[in-house]
Structures are given as C-alpha cells and as structure tokens.
A and B are shown apart, each in its own frame.
Chain A
C-alpha cells in the first residue's frame, strides 16, 4: 500500500513572498512518480508539477519547485513570488508502477494575503 501525508492543513503567505508546503509519502516501489495538484475554488484539479523518482534533479516549473528527498521520502513544494491566484487547496499525490491510480494526501489550504 502507498500513503501520502500532508501535515499542514492550512498555510498562509504574503503576496510576493515564498512559501513551502510539506509532503511525506511511503511506498515499497522503487519506481514511482510524485505530483502536486492545485484545486482552486472552481474545484478542478490542475497539475502543478511532477517528479520522477529516478531523477535526482528537483523539478521546476516557473515559480514552482520541489525539494525531493528520496531517502527521507519527503516531497515539498516551494512557491516563489506568491500571487493572489495561487490561493487554493494543494494536494500531494503519488503513483507507482504497480498501482494504477493516484494516492492523494489530505491537502493544504493556501491563503495568499495582499
């Protein structure tokens, strides 16, 4: 079984500042993928960033980057230069070769303060 844990139910950040959202996971697979999804008030799930476990280099997408610590099974999301539009629920998710679906964490509600 695979599990994903997000220990921060809520976070807030000042506009233009940087915030880091935490995620830990567990899987017995050696080949897996990690993701951060954003769910704005419209409720549609939007893929923010993806990390392949076999890649040592941390993924980056514009203002979004991850800190992938494989040995510690940690996968945090850093949002730089936060914008009001970044306010949303953020979900960490995991999929592995033997699992045909994504396992999601419980989410972190991010508030961006003007």
Chain B
C-alpha cells in the first residue's frame, strides 16, 4: 500500500508564475490536509478537504491560494502569482476519516517550492 505521494518534490518558479502541487492520498483515504512549513518553523495548517468538498480553509490565505480534491484524481494546491514569501515546504497528509483529532494522519514527503 503506497503512502501519501506528493509531486513535484521540488518546484522552482519565478515571481508571478503559478505553482501547482499535487497530492495522492493513501488508498482508501478520503480526507486530505495541506500544511505549510516555512524555514525554521513548524507546520501550519492551511486547508482540510474531503472528496469534492472544502471542509476547513481557515489557514489558507484568501488571495492567490486555492485547493481542490476532485472525485477522481489527486488533491491540488494551487498558488497563483507566486511571491518570494511563498517559498516553503508544502506537506499533504491523509486519513481514512477525520483523523486530525486522533492523530491518524499520514504525511507525504512534502513539496519544496522555491520562488526566485
């Protein structure tokens, strides 16, 4: 059973470009979480999705950021018109249920975004 798969592992963008980060949850998992880790900091919650629904996006900036988890295919975190401050590691986690409460989150290896 493959773990949470994130791609790309590394992404370089110039200011103003778009970044798309993909996350395929573990098989059988219908809950996906996105976290952002800035250098020298802990992970900060961004958004929680179930299939086709955004459940909680309280941690996601209102501008330029969006997330989706379609019925088919991976979850995608999209950042439009990237700025240098978007440079970070973006982690995806999945669970078979609302696992955040019990901690049953399975993390991917992260996608590192560098904005030049």
Contact = CB atoms under 8 A, between A and B. Distances in A.
Interface of A: 4, 33, 35, 42-47, 50, 91, 93, 95-97, 99-107
Contact of A45 (B40, B44, B45, B93): B93
A39 to B, nearest CB: 9
Contacts of B109: 42-44
Given A95-B101, A101-B33, A43 B42 contact: no
B69 interface: no
A32 B41 CA distance: 23
Interface of B: 33, 35, 40-45, 48, 55-56, 59, 89, 91, 93, 98, 100-103, 105, 107-110
Contacts of A43: 89, 109-110
Given A101-B59, A102-B43, A104-B42, 7 more contacts: A33-B102, A33-B103, A44-B110, A100-B98, A102-B45, A106-B40, A106-B42
Contacts of A93: 103
Contact of B103 (A4, A35, A42, A105): A35
B42 A44 contact: no
Contacts of A102: 43, 45, 100, 103, 105
B107 A44 contact: yes
B74 to A, nearest CB: 18
